[in-house]
Structure formats: structure tokens, C-alpha cells
Structure 1
């Protein structure tokens, strides 16, 4: 099924007699496999409104992300939350769509300063599990009463409704970028240095540590963005702040800095390699110790995003290791994806609230049933 209009989408969902597998571009195959008729949103495509002066855009949920980024780049603007391209990580194909980004709340290293994808959403239109068309929000930021459906739909993975249109905020591209690089730090030292940089007044917009960089050695990265003079000054201040940690050199070449952060954003070190991929969210003090107690794992610390990506042998008891925090199984064998919880288990009160919301918006339980179970 591939609706071309919101009305067709509502009609298809209302007339569904069984489970529906919601599909945007097919690039974010995360969670338990859903058995059901495929409902594709690619026909709900196109930029409906773009006001560069107001920093807002409205587009159909099936609009390719590349189309949106091209339109923004022509005006010197961008999606500041830098959604990742997970195709290489997950071994998927297709073309990422706006709706898929919102449904996954896909956000990159810059979330430390600007927020996640959900923080840029101004309004949504979607069809719930009964076939009802729902609208919430608009084209400006404002206070809301009742359900904040804009944020509720972000990260819901298509289990509460099928997005048809999204309005969102964009930001200008910075004039300059500087990246501080240091090789050879162990995990504990690197995380302490990144935490110190993030806690400084120098407006760090990305902080990461790889256990194995391109040349095989550990590499620690700190990003600064803004006006040319400001970037140069803040990079110098960060070098002085961290001089007792190691020799941080500054990279200013735009192509190299962009490629370096795409490497972190897309978790490129784990592309095409055997093993499970987990995404952890733990406190700074516990992150190195959590990783160290696991055998045979490799870590990418997207510390500006508050995340640790782990490549681990199949069957690694990750939830036993993560005492305080969250662990999501992003990539695993088909058999493994049928076992246990792939998303972090919810405490009983939150699980009850979540069940109530699903009962409200999808009373028949037909939208991506079991995907997050």
C-alpha cells in the first residue's frame, strides 16, 4: 500500500483488517520484525512551505531527507540536529525520509547544544490507528495544553500513528568549524577530558572518543562552531584547558571536519563488521567501567550526544552490565531480534502510561505491533 494523499492514508488505515508494517524509506530497520501488510509513506512527499527568513519548513512525511537538506543548503541553512544515516550500520538500503527521522527521533552529536530532533518539531499531521486525521502544533514555537503530540510522535517508531506532514525549525550553517584532535588517550582519560570541555564556557557542539580511529589508534574529538574569530579563540582556550591531558591539535579544513563528524554520526567504524550493535545511555562516570567489564566489545563514545555505541559478540548480556542507564539493541541477527526486549524495559508506571497512549491512538493494535516490545 502506498497512499498519495493524507485522505488515502486515512482510508487505508481505517479499512485495514490486520497489522500494518509502517515503512518510510526502509533505512531504519530497528526493533522486532513486524508481520503485516506494508504501508509505505513515500507517496506523501514534497516540500509544502519553506520560509528561510522565519527558519521554518513544512514537508510531507515521505519527503526524502536529501531533498530537504539540498533545499536548506541552497539558503545556507541546515537540520542542526544532524540526523544520522544508518544504512551502513544496519545493512539497509532505500532513502531516508523526514517521517522516518521524526519517528526514530534520529539525532546526532550536536544534540548537546541544540537538542534532539523532537526539539525542532513545530507541528505534525498524522493518521491514528482508527483512520482519524490528527493535527497538533503549527509553524511557530508555543506553549501547549493537553497532549504534546508533536513530541509524542517523535521517537514513537510509528506505533501511535502514521505521519503525513511535519513542520519544523531549521538553523543557519555556521561560518566556521574547528575540531580538536588527540590520539592515544584511554577511555577514562578521554571521557574525563570531554566532560571537562563540555562543562567549559567554550560552547562545544560535539564531543567523541573512538577506541580505534582510522589508523588503529584511539582518537578523541571536540568540535567548536560559530564565527571565524570566535572559533579560533575558543579552540585556543580549549587547548589550554586540556594541555595537561594531551596534545590536542586543531583541524580547520571544512571537508575534513565534516567527514570526521559524519564518521561519528553514522557510526562508520561498525559498518560491514560482524556482531551486535548496541546503543547505551549511561552517566559519564560509569561509561568507561561499563565498557571495560564487557569482553570483546569496541566502543564509539558520542559523548556530546550522551551515547555509547558498542559492537559486541552476539548474545552479550548487555542489560546485566548496564546497571544505571538504558541499552537499545540496534542491530542483531533475525533470531536474536525475537528474544527479549530490544528497547529499554520501562518501569511499571511508565509502561502503564505507554499502554494507555497506545490504547488511545491505536485501539486495534495494528500500527507496527510488537516493534518496540
Structure 2
């Protein structure tokens, strides 16, 4: 395994290599098509290099554990805005989630509907391209974000355009209080309608999920409110009244010891942990969420982002994309055997114009084709 110690060392490793590179962070997310190549670990590039609570910014090397960053932010009563998922529960992996891995995969949790995705919180990057050149874009504080927006380009390219060495984020104050309106017994159609109504309300919803099979075996629709205690209590009560027309038995949960694991389970798709099912991540417009469930009647489902994100657990080897023909969106294969990933491809095939743009970008940033070749198709 290649293990550079710093950005300069990383640049030299990439410049000197003659073989494809399989880039790894904390080893928690074997997502994408299988990659053949020399393992390049970023674990040596670790540490928070700048944290200014007053400016709401944090800068860290790519191999820095997410837990280390979250602990530093919590000490100042702050947090990352986008609630990054921890894939270890779903994938049954070990390792340590790193901030570079979060950016490379644009990992975003339930709060995305209110705070945006990982890429929306990213304000600066440093990375090494496929020729070993160190590039930087954006800044270390929000007012310095200028130039071509390579920052957004680096979020979600899975290391195929460059190897991240440092990332900068805007952060937000932590929430003082949380409540969740929990509605039992709704169908998928009614749950999506209820979540849409909640998201269209003025009550600042920060989470909207539907679990077709909760701990008691009944479906549960979850609407999260966060903020100051008095405001949370008022808004949760108003939401409960607003959503009464959709039926079901509703209650308001405010116990943090109950809510933390509940939303962590939604964030991490914990419903699929320990099963033998292939797991797909399906992005559609929220009103199409029930259609996804209808097209996969034998699947196990979890709805997030108001119905716009559907997690589906299916029998091993199932071609979910074929079943969803006619429903606009994209389906990513998150957990399956290497054979299934190789046969179906982890990522949704791109339309020809988009594929041409992607190929052009890869040729520009990685002309030798050595950075995670084939991972994204």
C-alpha cells in the first residue's frame, strides 16, 4: 500500500506511479465498480489545520477522521451542516470514516433537505491531479471563494478527477432542541403527501423520512424539527395539527435519547444491516417515491428526503434499473457482490451528452487514466 505522509509526498507518489491507483480513505466504503490498482491510502494526511469558530469555518486534511472534526466542532457548540452518513452499519465494514471520503462521495444525510448536500457546505479544496500537480480552488473562509468552481466538481467524483489533500467547510451552530412528529400507519402515497406538506410549511423541517416497517412492525412517518426549545414545541404542535388530515396515529417525541438513534438509523440506512439483500440508493422526484416502491413490490424500502431518496433492499443479483424503466431518476448499487457490481455497474449509466462531458473532464484532470479507473463506469 502506498501511504504518503503529506501533500508533497502525495504529489510525488502520483507523479512517479506507472500503475493505476485505487484510492482509499478510512476503508469504510467499498462503493463503486471494482477497481484494480495499487492501493493509495490517505490516512497519513490527517489533522485539522484551521478552525475559526467565529468565522464558522473549518479546514482539515483529507485523511482526518470525521469523528475528530465533529468532536472539535461540538466543543464549540457547532456542527457540519449536512449530517454525513456512516456507511459502516450498512456495509458491515470497519475502518474510520474520513472527511476526504465524505467529500469524494458527496455523502449527505437527512438534513440535506434543509441544509444542502456536502458540496453545498464545501468552500475550498486542495487536490493532486492525475499528473501529480497540486491544485487548489476556493478558499479557507467563505468570503474568499473565487474562480472556477472546482470545489463543487471535486465533491462526488469518487477520486476519479483528483486525490483530495485538504478540504474547507462552512459550519453551523448546533441545535439546542429537537422534536419529531411521528405518524403511524400511513401508506407510502399518504406518507409522501404528508412529508411534502410538512416541507412546504413554514415550520423549517430538517428531516422527513418514512420507514415502511418500524420496530413495532408498522409503518412510521417521521418529521423532524430543530431549534430553540420553545420554538420547536410550537412548530411541532402546529405540524401535528397540519398533518392530521392524512390520518394515522400521531405523537410528538422529544426525548433526545430516543431521537438520536432513530435519526441515526435513517441516516445510516440501518434497516438493511445484517441482511443478505443487495441495497440500492434511488434518487427520484419525491412524488415518484411511491412508484419506486410499487415497481419493487418484494423489496424492503426506506424513504428519506421527503421521498426523493429511496433505499431499496432486493434479492441478490436483481436488476433494479430494469424494474424502474419509465421512472425518471438514477439508481446506484451500494451493496452487492463484486460479480453483481461488475455485471450491473454501480452507477447509473449517464446520458450520452453527460458521458461525453465526464470523459472530457477525466481526460483533462487524469490524462493517464490512473485515478480509480473504472470505478464510475
TM-score when normalising by structure 1:
0.97
| Residue correspondences, number | 373
How far has the Cα of 1:325 moved from its partner? 0.9
How far has the Cα of 1:78 moved from its partner? 0.7
How far has the Cα of 1:317 moved from its partner? 2.6
| 2:343 aligned with 1:342 | no
3-state SS of paired residue (1:230): helix
Select between 295-304 and 272-281 the one with higher mean Cα deviation: 295-304
How far has the Cα of 1:295 moved from its partner? 3.7
After superposition, the C-alpha distances for 1:104-136 in whole angstroms (9 at most, x for unaligned) are: 100001011110000011110000000000011
Distance in 2 (CA, whole Å) between partners of 1:336 and 1:346 is 19
- Which residue is equivalent to 1:265? 267
Counting only pairs closer than 5 Å after superposition, residues 126-137 of structure 1 correspond to structure 2 as: 126-137=127-138
| 2:184 aligned with 1:183 | yes
- Which residue is equivalent to 1:251? 253
Counting only pairs closer than 5 Å after superposition, residues 188-337 of structure 1 correspond to structure 2 as: 188-245=189-246, 246-304=248-306, 306-322=308-324, 323-337=327-341
Structure 2: any 5+ residue segments left out of the alignment?
A: none
**Which structure has more helix as a fraction of its residues?**
2
- 8 Å CA contact retained: 2:138, 2:146: no
- Which residue is equivalent to 2:365? 361
Distance in 2 (CA, whole Å) between partners of 1:344 and 1:337 is 11
3-state SS of paired residue (1:221): strand
How far has the Cα of 1:320 moved from its partner? 2.1
- 8 Å CA contact retained: 1:109, 1:305: no
How far has the Cα of 1:149 moved from its partner? 0.8
How far has the Cα of 1:328 moved from its partner? 0.5
How far has the Cα of 1:146 moved from its partner? 5.8
- Which residue is equivalent to 1:71? 72
- Which residue is equivalent to 1:46? 47
After superposition, the C-alpha distances for 1:9-49 in whole angstroms (9 at most, x for unaligned) are: 00000011110000000111101111110000010000111
- 8 Å CA contact retained: 1:111, 1:305: no
- Which residue is equivalent to 2:29? 28
TM-score when normalising by structure 2:
0.96
Distance in 1 (CA, whole Å) between partners of 2:60 and 2:44 is 12
